[in-house]
Structure 1
Amino acid sequence: MRISSVTMYEQSSASINRQQGDLLKIGQQLSSGRKVVNPSDNPQAASQAVGVSQSMAMSEQYGNSRVSARTSLAQSESVLNSVSDSITSAKTLLIQASSDTLSNADRESIASELKGVYQTLIGQANTADGNGRYLFGGQIDNAPPYVANEQGAMKYNGSDIVREQRIDSSRNMPVAESGRAIFQKVPSGAGYIGEAVRSDGVRNAGSVILSGPQVSDVNGEGYGDDYRITFGGDTETPTLSVQRLTQDQGWQPVPDMTDIAYTGGDAPQRLVFGGLSVSLSGASEAADEVNISQAKNAQREPDLFKAMEEAIRVLENPASSDVEKADLRNTLNTSMRDLDNALDNVLTVRASAGARLNELDVIDSIASNRMMSYTQTMSDLVDLDYVEAISEYSLRQVGMQASQQTFMNMKGMSLFDYM
């Protein structure tokens, strides 16, 4: 077979190019630290690496979302801690104001302090984060959730639906709170609250003072329903009747508790009905009422701001007559119960925020382990084995040198050397 000079040069050139290409490929792997530099190097590994890379990017995005959620929840938890302190301060002032040794001037001074706590609570309810979003407005976070209406009472203008944030592939976490759930709600076991006020909101004309209600029998018939005590008769022979609120028939008289003699006066009269016990004292007037309702019932919606507004009202006004003193005593007792329920509710909401912060820590730990798994999988797919690559690089260098030397030796061969 005859080998032409052209064939010899072509074969030598192809061998050198092939060796150079292999050497360049190993060089790229060494410089990048990856064994799959181009998808064509290993299509299957490259495809799997794209999927793992996307999963890692999503995990990082969820991590950033958890950082944002943690910041928002930590701010809410901090403010709720301050709210509980404010409620405790208000309760302390009301206990102080309940003392019979205080004068009207003393109570007015306490009212001034209570106003300061009230304003502090409003500021806490309208707290905004560093981005100008209000923490307790629910999904409506671009305006203060609590503003005063025409009568000066605080009104909630936020949303009952709270903002949520996706912190993992299968978890949407609430990262804010609704002001109504904090300041206008009570825990499920809040029990009963009594008010010496008429159903139409008008204050009683008499000086009846309510003590209680106390739970006497949770299994008693009618326990859990709302009640009201209405007064009738005349000054000489006052009477009272107890009515129970039913779902289908409205207010119905409680058996054996209709038009019974009211013997309160200076000596309290004890009444037992519906698993409850109450004591009444003071003089009654016809059409006066005492309402006994569950703290969580829609008949008497809980409202921390309203409770404080009522307490401030009676403390600012001098209590000289028996009627005014009864209004003072009843309002302070009711307000203190409202504050107790509000504090329990705030602590419950705060505990919920703390539980979500703990959940974020757990998810962070799981995500960290998941990210380590992704990193290991990605390394197995595309990362370079430097020992193997360096050995391969050295081998390709030897092959390249051998091809070049062979070409150098062959190009000088000619038939004329043997003629």
Structure 2
Amino acid sequence: MRISTLAIYNQNISSMNRQQTEFMKISQQIASGKRIVNISDDPQAMTQAINIGQSKSVTGQFSEARVGVRNALSQEESVLNNVADMYSRAKTLLVQASSDTLSDADKTAVASELRGIYEALIGLGNTRDGNGRYLFGGHQDDSAPFVRDPSAGVVNYVGNLNVREQQVDGARLMPVGHSGDQIFRSVHSSAPYRAEVAMDNQGSLTYKGITITDSSAATFGQAFDIEFGEDASGQLQYRVNGGAWNDYNDPTVVELGGVAIELEGTPVAGDSLRLARGNDNNTDIFVAFEKALAVLENPADTASKQATQRNTLRTVMNELDNGLDNVLTVRAEVGARLNELDALDAIGGNRQLAYEQAYSDLVDLDYIEAAAQYSIRMVGLQAAQQAFVDMKGMSLFNFL
């Protein structure tokens, strides 16, 4: 069979091109460190690698989100620590102010320090985070959540009750902080009974201990309003929640539904007292400070004012205790979330390592195998070139 010179040339050129292509491919793999340079090299493996790469990116985004959440929660924990310290200091001052040995001037001095704590608490309630957003404003980021009303002399919460949330893992949407209402205007549902004597009482009625006598009583947990009056003979009386009148003697222990309160002093008709669980009375810590300041900054120059002062300070101390318990509960929640973030970081780190390994197995180059292939392809290319050189000399004209 006759083979034309053109056929010989075409066959050798095709062989060299094929060897050159294979050699260039392995060279690109070695240069890039990747087994798959083009999708056509291994479409199935490249598709899996793309999916794994997307999963790696999502995991990285969750990791970055956890950094932001951790910073916000750490700042909140620091603020709550300061709030707890201020509550404790305020309680110490009120214990001092409750002493009968202090003069009105001494109590005014205590009130001065107490007002400083009050102002500092308002500042803490309006703390901003690293992005300039109010830490306790909920979804409201552009204005202070706690605003003073000069005409009424009170602090109002105008922030949002909802809390921002951040996706920190595939199935975990974590709240970022708490609203100011949860921290400064709430108490835990388990807060104990406490009494609150009306500020406009005219008598010298005061209360002492509150004792739980039967927590299984049908009316235990309800609020009790004690009202004072007198009969036609002038005998002081009291009734509970608008019920029947009972004679009042100084002192006396009033038995209610599962709870008892010890009363002393002389009330007058129209005076009143409310006994309720902590979350049924005042839960606003700023109102508690305002009540304490009102009685400390004004002289207690009558028996009724002295009784009001003692009762108010005792009530405010109970409210501070409830507020501190609430702050500690919130701090525990913050701590639990920080611990959860640590656990999610560990899980996310392990997941990222698994993704990296799977991705590497699919696309990364085995340099030992590649080096061997490189040598083989080079030898093949050189052989094809040498064969072409040898074939060029195979002509009948050389033998004529």
What is the alpha-carbon distance in structure 1 between the residues aligned to residue 307 and residue 222 of structure 2? 26
Q: Residue 10 of structure 1 corresponds to which residue in structure 2? A: 10
**CA offsets per residue over residues 5-33 of structure 1, 9 Å max, x none?**
11111111111111000000000100111
| Residues 1-150 of structure 1 mapped to structure 2, 5 A cutoff | 1-149=1-149, 150=151
Report the more deviating stretch, 56-65 or 202-211.
202-211
Q: Residue 400 of structure 1 corresponds to which residue in structure 2? A: 381
Structure 1 residue 272: deviation in Å? 1.3
What is the alpha-carbon distance in structure 2 between the residues aligned to residue 385 and residue 10 of structure 1? 35
TM-score (norm 1): 0.93
User: Which aligned runs of 4 or more in structure 1 are off by greater than 2 angstroms?
Assistant: none
Question: What secondary structure does 2:53 align onto?
Answer: helix
Q: Residue 342 of structure 1 corresponds to which residue in structure 2? A: 323
2:196 matched to 1:205? no
**Matching residue's letter, 1:212:** G
Preserved contact between residue 62 and residue 166 of structure 1 (Cα < 8 Å): yes
| Residues 309-348 of structure 1 mapped to structure 2, 5 A cutoff | 309-348=290-329
Preserved contact between residue 76 and residue 135 of structure 1 (Cα < 8 Å): yes
Question: Gapped runs of 5+ residues in structure 2?
Answer: none
Determine which of 312, 337, 342 is the counterpart of 1:356.
337
**Matching residue's letter, 1:295:** G
Preserved contact between residue 187 and residue 283 of structure 2 (Cα < 8 Å): yes
Question: What secondary structure does 2:22 align onto?
Answer: helix
What is the alpha-carbon distance in structure 2 between the residues aligned to residue 90 and residue 316 of structure 1? 15
Question: What secondary structure does 1:195 align onto?
Answer: strand
Report the more deviating stretch, 2-11 or 359-368.
2-11
Percentage of matched positions with identical amino acids: 48
**CA offsets per residue over residues 285-326 of structure 1, 9 Å max, x none?**
1111111111112xx241111001100110001111101100
Preserved contact between residue 282 and residue 288 of structure 2 (Cα < 8 Å): no
Structure 1 residue 412: deviation in Å? 2.0
Determine which of 249, 256, 272 is the counterpart of 1:263.
249
Q: Residue 237 of structure 2 corresponds to which residue in structure 1? A: 239
What is the alpha-carbon distance in structure 1 between the residues aligned to residue 159 and residue 294 of structure 2? 26
**CA offsets per residue over residues 261-297 of structure 1, 9 Å max, x none?**
1112xxx211111111111111211111111111112
What is the alpha-carbon distance in structure 2 between the residues aligned to residue 323 and residue 93 of structure 1? 22
**CA offsets per residue over residues 162-195 of structure 1, 9 Å max, x none?**
1100001110000121111101111121111211
Question: What secondary structure does 1:223 align onto?
Answer: coil
**Matching residue's letter, 1:230:** E
TM-score (norm 2): 0.97
Structure 1 residue 221: deviation in Å? 3.4
Determine which of 223, 230, 238 is the counterpart of 2:220.
223
What is the alpha-carbon distance in structure 2 between the residues aligned to residue 221 and residue 56 of structure 1? 58
What is the alpha-carbon distance in structure 1 between the residues aligned to residue 192 and residue 347 of structure 2? 41
What is the alpha-carbon distance in structure 2 between the residues aligned to residue 163 and residue 188 of structure 1? 24
Preserved contact between residue 185 and residue 345 of structure 1 (Cα < 8 Å): yes
2:198 matched to 1:178? no
**CA offsets per residue over residues 177-224 of structure 1, 9 Å max, x none?**
111110111112111121111xxxx61121211223321221223111
What is the alpha-carbon distance in structure 2 between the residues aligned to residue 405 and residue 380 of structure 1? 38
Question: What secondary structure does 1:270 align onto?
Answer: strand
Q: Residue 166 of structure 1 corresponds to which residue in structure 2? A: 167
2:345 matched to 1:375? no
What is the alpha-carbon distance in structure 2 between the residues aligned to residue 313 and residue 242 of structure 1? 28
**Matching residue's letter, 1:143:** S
| Residues 273-284 of structure 1 mapped to structure 2, 5 A cutoff | 273-284=256-267
Structure 1 residue 236: deviation in Å? 3.7
**CA offsets per residue over residues 26-73 of structure 1, 9 Å max, x none?**
001001111111000000001000100000000000000000000000
Question: Gapped runs of 5+ residues in structure 1?
Answer: 244-251
**Matching residue's letter, 2:224:** Y
What is the alpha-carbon distance in structure 2 between the residues aligned to residue 182 and residue 377 of structure 1? 46
What is the alpha-carbon distance in structure 1 between the residues aligned to residue 111 and residue 298 of structure 2? 10
What is the alpha-carbon distance in structure 2 between the residues aligned to residue 212 and residue 374 of structure 1? 64
**Matching residue's letter, 1:182:** I
Report the more deviating stretch, 38-47 or 140-149.
140-149
What is the alpha-carbon distance in structure 1 between the residues aligned to residue 210 and residue 307 of structure 2? 16
Question: What secondary structure does 2:194 align onto?
Answer: strand
Structure 1 residue 121: deviation in Å? 0.7
Preserved contact between residue 139 and residue 163 of structure 1 (Cα < 8 Å): yes
**Matching residue's letter, 1:261:** D
